[in-house]
Amino acid sequence: MSITVNKKTVDYVKEETVQALLKRLRFTFPLVIVKINGNHVPRKDFKTVTIPDHADIRVIHMISGG
Amino acid sequence: MNDDNEIKQQRQKYIATALSNKKVGIAGAGGLGSNAAIALARSGIIKFVIVDFDTIEQSNLNRQYYFLSQIGQKKVRALENNIKNINPEVSCILLQEKLMAGSMWKPFTDVDIIIEALDHAETKTQFIEEVLTHLPKIPIVAASGVAGYGQSDRIRTIKTGNLHMVYDKEALSSDEDVLLAPKVCLMANWQANIALELLLGESI
C-alpha cells in the first residue's frame, strides 16, 4: 500500500485528502500545482479530493519571479 | 559536404515554414516573456499574442529585453517594436491589461502554445490552473524559481501532460532573492527551446 509523490515512494493513507497529504509531507508552501495520475487537481478541490492507492502524484511549487 | 549542406538547408526551410504557421501566446512581458518572445521571433515565429499591463521602469533593464529609451512605454508595445526590429514581418496581438482570475485563459484560446511568464507565485498558479482547466489541449510552458544566480545545474524540466515546467525547486522567491539577467534569460530561453521542440517535433 503505497503512493509515489514526485517519484518518491510514500505510505498510502486511506481516504487522505490532497490537503492532508501536503500537510503530512510538509509542503508548507501553499502555491502548488498538483497532479494525480496525470490529472490536474485545482486548489479549490484540495480539501475534498482523496488520494487513491498506488497514485502517482506530482507536486510542483510555484515560486515568485518572472 | 554538399549533401550535408543540402540537408541542412532543407531542414532550415522546413523549420521556417512550420514556425511561420504557429501562433505563440506570451502571458507577461517581463523578464521571462520578453526574452522568450525575442528568442522565438529570432527562430521564425511570426504570430504572437502578448498580454501585459505594465510599463517599463529602469529597474527592469537588468534582465528584461528593453532599452533606456523605452522607459515609461507600455511593455507590450515596446516588445512588439523590439521584435519588429529583428523581423518586420511579425504581427502581434497586444493586450495591455492585467490578467484577472477567472478569465486569465481567455486571450489564448487560438494559440498553438502558451508561455507562462508571470511574476507572482499566486498569479502563476492561478494562470496554470485556468489553462489546464479551460484549454487542456494547448501546451503550456511555465517557469518556477527564476530568482538568484549560479546553480544552473539545478534547473530541470518537469513534464506532466501538456504542462512543461522549467523548474529550480531550490530557488528562493523574488521577494527574498535578486532577479538577474543570466538565470532569468536562461530559463526564458529554456522555455523558448521547449516551445520549439513542441511546435516542430523532437530534434535529431
Asked if A60 and B147 come within 8 Å (Cβ–Cβ), the reply is no
Q: Exposed e or buried b for every residue in A19-45, given b needs 16+ CB within 10 A? A: bebbeeeebeeebbbbbbeeebbbbee
Asked whether residue B3 carries a pLDDT value surpassing 90, the answer given is no
**Helix H or strand E encompassing A5:** strand A2-5
ipTM for the whole complex: 0.92
CATH homologous superfamily of B2-200: NAD(P)-binding Rossmann-like Domain (3.40.50.720)
Compute CA distances B124 → A5, B34, B85, B153, whole Å. 22, 16, 30, 23
> CB-CB: which of A33, A40, A66 is closest to B117?
A66
Domain spans, chain B: 2-200
pLDDT of residue B202: 73
**Region B66-82: what's the mean pLDDT?**
98
What's the pLDDT tens digit per position in B107-136? 999 999 999 999 999 999 999 999 999 999
> Coil, helix or strand for A26?
coil
Give the predicted TM-score (pTM) of the model.
0.95
Task: Domains for chain A: give ranges and CATH numbers.
Answer: 2-61 (3.10.20.30)
Indicate yes or no: CB of A33 within 8 angstroms of CB of B171.
no
List residues bridging with B103 in a β-sheet. Answer: none
pLDDT digits (tens, 9 = 90+) for A1-45: 999 999 999 999 999 999 999 999 998 767 999 999 999 999 999
**Which residues does chain B have within 8 Å of residue A31's beta carbon, measured at their own beta carbons?**
121-122, 124-125
Identify all chain B residues contacting A65, using CB atoms and an 8 Å cutoff.
31, 119, 145-147, 171, 173-174, 177, 179, 184
